Chain A
Amino acid sequence: MLPMEHPLPLSFVLPNPATLPGLALGFIDGNFVDLQDLLLRASTLTSNLNHDCSDLNDRLLHLRTDLTKHAVSWISTSLSAKVSLEDLRLNLESLLCLPTDSVGKQTNWELQQVVEELCRIQNRRKYFVTALKLESLVGDLEDSVFHPISKRKGSTLQDLALKQERFSHAIKTMNEIEEILGDVTRHHSRWRRLVDSVDSRVDKSLSVLRPQIIADHRAFLSSLGWPPKLATSKVEHGEVDSIPNPLLLMQGDKKESYSQSFLLLCGLQQHNTQKEKRKKLNMTKETDNDGLWATDELVKPVASRMEYHFLKWAEQPEFIFELVYKVTRDFADGVDDFLQPLIDRAMLVSCSAKEAWVSAMVQMLSGFLEKKVFPGLIDMYKEKHMKSEGISSWFHLVDQMVTFDKRMQSFVNTDTCLSYEGSSTAFSQGISVMGLFCKKPEWLKTWGKIELKDAYRKSKEDIKNEKAWVIDSERTRLGNESNSQSAKYVLSTREDYKAPLVADSFLNRTWRLIDHGLSLPAILPRIQFIRATATRFLWCIFKILLLEFKKTDLSHYGLSEDTLIQACGPVNAARYLESKLREWSDDLVFVEMWAAETSVKVDRKPEVSCQGCFFGEELKSLVELETNWLMEIITVFLHQFDNLCSDHFHNNAVSWDEDVITSSSNLTVSQGVAEALDNLRRHLCVLHLNMNPKDFLDLWRNLAEGLDHYVSRKFFSGEPVLRRQKFDRFEVDAEALLTVLKPYCVRPGAFFPRVREILRLLRMHEEEKARLRGALSRSGNTCLKLFGISNLSPQLVEQFCRSY
């Protein structure tokens, strides 16, 4: 009956005999002769085979139990042997402390060898114990990972729970393995082969385990409804409704399942971190700030959904940044409230869920800009006919990036949990889309070039303005009156320094470049950018100031008030720039950058940065510029004074003869000297009104020193025509010279030491001169101080005493 009812031929049911292995074929031939045997004996054979399989399984379980028992007994025996060996070693070490003799020395040497051998045996035993322990743990791990997939017994959640339990056990085992390997690496660095073999087996297990955990996590997120829609269709009264967060809608079993899945990912990440830390123990390398893997898994689906909008808005970056900010802000509270307790359960120290979420979103955006947006801008910039458009697009994008970083920074800092202001700033390298430039130095360089050219071009336009070099002196005059005596040189604003309007423009543009550099999250790219942009721009400014000063016609012929006022502009601007650069250099940000730059330079060369601040070289250059300009003005003044006074000294004899003839007892200042002094006084008044107080102080003190040298040299080079008349004339002229500086100091004579000493010599009596001449002939230099002379040379004094 059965063969008649079968619908298919026998060739379709039975396998092809050629494909069967030899043993199987022999077995089947031994049991079945023909079709009758197949029908009669198949059921009996099946039951026999099942019985044999169950017997074999029982035997396998029995063998496993026996193995465990033998291992335990071996370990206990090993422990007792360890105790015995320890005691023996202690006894032998105590024997070594006995006093030695000729026979004892030989015995001690042999005992020492025995002790060394025992130590070696003990180390080997430790090795075997550790290897055995690791073997058992790795066996457990592989059992957990490579367990065959069982049948579905219940609902999906129950299956997921069972799977998560297995995964949790596997991670726990891996952590135990990691602890042992850490000890081995620290204390037994020569057991590298053991560590490598265990690592390879654990990595193999991980390569199977990690994708499974991640796949389960992703599947679970999909079942929850993640990622949600990026925008709701409901618009009420112009306000867009907030996006519902699926994380907050989970309840009950789903919540617990997600918690377990999250903890698994955290455990994996923690294990990975510890392993990397162990492997990099010898290499002192800065570790990257990895985000939270679980948060990355939340971000990736959102990123794939937002990618469509990003590509659509590639030409309008403000929409991209606004979308990222909105999504980040909408979900951050849910992420923080729900995931932070899970992070606490996972014992991830110093890990903030909100920061991890924000960091992951920012890294996603940064990745998109790096792959899709900036390469296009670079290509646009390199083509000549598209360069200006590329530059404007670049500026727009960078402005959006800087604004976005500031918004994200303030958003993260609004966490009420951390009370320190800006406590996240120290850990914010991951929360910055500007970190893109830290990874791409060539883009940083390109950005620096663009910014520098733009700043230079705008500065050229500023200079062309008619009011660029105008000094508003009315406000300055009012401001001067309100200053007290001690705070006379406390200058802080541009009006205090009497700097032209263009100086503020220069500083604002420089600070804009610096501010862009400070928006970079890492300190070395920050230094690199500021050196490439702000520092070079400062040197351009110095060149502009130098050209502006050279435009003024500073010559002793035709020196006018307008020329002096024009010359004061660059001088005041330079002083103002110097004060501002010093102020910036003392700021904490620049102190840190200077310290970092110095430490980098010290590694390369032992030179110390000049003047000990970030803008040291620029400050040195500015001071040099100011000094050169002041000396140039002083030189012009002295030349003019010389021109006006040379007639007076040339006509000395004539004027003195007239005096003798007229016999007038009331002398006045000489005409040439009076004219020169009046000219000098007028110029000093102009400079006093238009130059900043510090430079003006330097100028008139140096001018006084120059005049002192000039007048003393002229005095001694003149002919001794008539002694009394010349004395009176010189005294009157000297007093007139001192009155020129009367408005600027209390005692002008202090700044004309040579003239003062000449007057002292002229007022000496004959007997004092005789004593002075005698002292000079006896001992040369030292005796001059006794007479109160310290600036004139002995030769001049001797010449004076001989002549008069």
Chain B
Amino acid sequence: MDEVVVEVEKTKREWEEAYEKTIGHIISIQQYGKSRRGDGGEEKFSLQRLNGLAQDGLSLLNSLQFNLDLLAPQLPSDDQVQSTQSLLETWKNQYHSLRVNLRSANLQAKDNMRKAAQEERELLLGGGTESTVLRRKRQANAGVTSDAESITESLRRSRQLMVQEVERSTNTLVAFDESTGVLKKAESEYKGHRSLLSRTRNLLSTMQRQDVIDRIILIVGFSLFVFAVVYVVSKRIGILKLQRMATAAIKAQLAGKAANGVGDDVMPLGQQFDGNTVPTVNIPLQQRMHDEL
């Protein structure tokens, strides 16, 4: 089938749909304000909303007109072109009448609302004691309604909290299920690793035994080493005693010379002597020790 023909048919279907919807909205606007006293409830849509929907419908119809105006000359045959252009003229007339009807519908709605408001005022204001009673009742109903609305709001809030709690519990359950799965997988993996662990245990036992043997060898070696060290140290302590005895003897001699009372000249001489004594003592000790070793 021809591409243009398909597009034209699609445009026609969209026009019929939009036209019906817009007519419905215009009728709703025209009836606005009449049905409230009978129903006693809220209108389905507000007047601004209905007007917005009607305007959107008119915009879409206008756009579809433009589309058809563009597509009509492109149809394959002249008969189709002429019939589509006559349809376009029909659409333009329908569009214009819709706009006029929308205006009159709005004026009608305004008049309906004004009459309803006037009736309500005559009923509730200045109508004797009946007006007072009705107004008190209306105000009481308004109070009850506001209380009911607040209760409903609190109930809705409670419901929302409970819904959140249920969701949280559901999430917890899901998490638990996932954990159970993970644990089962872990168990199966652990069972698969049993043979490996057994072999590892044998190896560990062998290593432990080897460790004990190594420990014994180390202890014995350390003991022998300690004994050797003690022997050497005992030998060296005897040499040191001899060194101390010589030093004590030299000091005694120096003390005897000082008893003579030489004066200041003795002190420098003493220091010089002490300086000379130390190198003399050191050289023989080193030589002896070397001989011993």
Produce 1/0 per residue, A638-669, CB < 8 A to B.
00000000000000000000000000000000
* Bound: A492/B56 CA distance, A: 10
Asked if B139 is an interface residue, CB under 8 A from chain A, the answer is: yes
* Bound: A330/B282 CA distance, A: 118
Residues in A with CB closer than 8 Å to B106 are: 588, 591
A697 contacts B66, C-beta separation under 8 Å: yes
Asked if A103 is an interface residue, CB under 8 A from chain B, the answer is: no
Asked if A104 is an interface residue, CB under 8 A from chain B, the answer is: no
* Bound: A790/B79 CA distance, A: 13
Residue total for A at the interface (Cβ-Cβ under 8 A): 46
Residues in A with CB closer than 8 Å to B67 are: 485-486, 488-489
B63 contacts A486, C-beta separation under 8 Å: yes
Asked if B100 is an interface residue, CB under 8 A from chain A, the answer is: yes
Residue total for B at the interface (Cβ-Cβ under 8 A): 52
B66 contacts A350, C-beta separation under 8 Å: no
Most A CB contacts (10 A, CB to CB) among B66, B74, B131, B135 go to B131
How far apart are B239's CB and chain A's nearest CB, in angstroms? 101
A340 contacts B107, C-beta separation under 8 Å: no
Asked if A13 is an interface residue, CB under 8 A from chain B, the answer is: no
B127 contacts A349, C-beta separation under 8 Å: yes
Residues in A with CB closer than 8 Å to B156 are: none
A350 contacts B118, C-beta separation under 8 Å: yes
Residues in A with CB closer than 8 Å to B128 are: 344-345, 347
B103 contacts A591, C-beta separation under 8 Å: yes
Known contacts A350-B126, A490-B59; is A417 also within 8 Å of B135 by CB? yes
Asked if A316 is an interface residue, CB under 8 A from chain B, the answer is: no
Of residues 483 through 527 on chain A, the ones whose CB sits less than 8 Å from some CB of chain B are 485-492
Known contacts A418-B117, A418-B120, A745-B70; is A612 also within 8 Å of B100 by CB? yes
How far apart are A665's CB and chain B's nearest CB, in angstroms? 32
Of B3-11, B170-178, B272-280, B285-293, the one contacting chain A is B3-11
A344 contacts B103, C-beta separation under 8 Å: no
Residues in A with CB closer than 8 Å to B62 are: 489-490
Asked if A341 is an interface residue, CB under 8 A from chain B, the answer is: yes
Residues in B with CB closer than 8 Å to A345 are: 128-129
Known contacts A417-B124, A419-B120, A420-B120; is A489 also within 8 Å of B66 by CB? yes
Of B108-116, B179-187, B203-211, B262-270, the one contacting chain A is B108-116
Known contacts A697-B70, A746-B4; is A588 also within 8 Å of B127 by CB? no
Asked if B88 is an interface residue, CB under 8 A from chain A, the answer is: no
Residues in B with CB closer than 8 Å to A315 are: none
A423 contacts B103, C-beta separation under 8 Å: no
B117 contacts A344, C-beta separation under 8 Å: no
Q: List 26 A-B contacts (CB under 8 A).
A: A343-B125, A344-B126, A344-B129, A344-B130, A351-B125, A351-B126, A418-B117, A418-B124, A420-B113, A420-B117, A423-B117, A423-B120, A426-B113, A426-B117, A486-B14, A486-B63, A486-B64, A487-B60, A488-B67, A489-B67, A586-B102, A588-B51, A595-B107, A697-B70, A701-B70, A751-B73
Closest 6 CB pairs of A and B: A423-B117, A489-B63, A750-B73, A348-B126, A747-B74, A750-B74
Knowing that A350-B122, A423-B113, A488-B63 are A-B contacts, what are 4 other residue pairs whose CB atoms are under 8 Å apart, sorted by A's residue number? Answer: A416-B138, A418-B121, A419-B120, A487-B63
Identify the B interface with A (CB < 8 A): 3-4, 7, 10-11, 14, 36, 51, 55, 59-60, 62-64, 66-67, 70-71, 73-75, 78, 81, 99-100, 102-103, 106-107, 109-110, 113-114, 116-118, 120-122, 124-132, 135, 138-139, 142
Identify the A interface with B (CB < 8 A): 340-341, 343-352, 416-420, 423, 426-427, 485-492, 583, 586-588, 591-592, 595, 612, 694, 697, 701, 745-747, 750-751, 788, 790
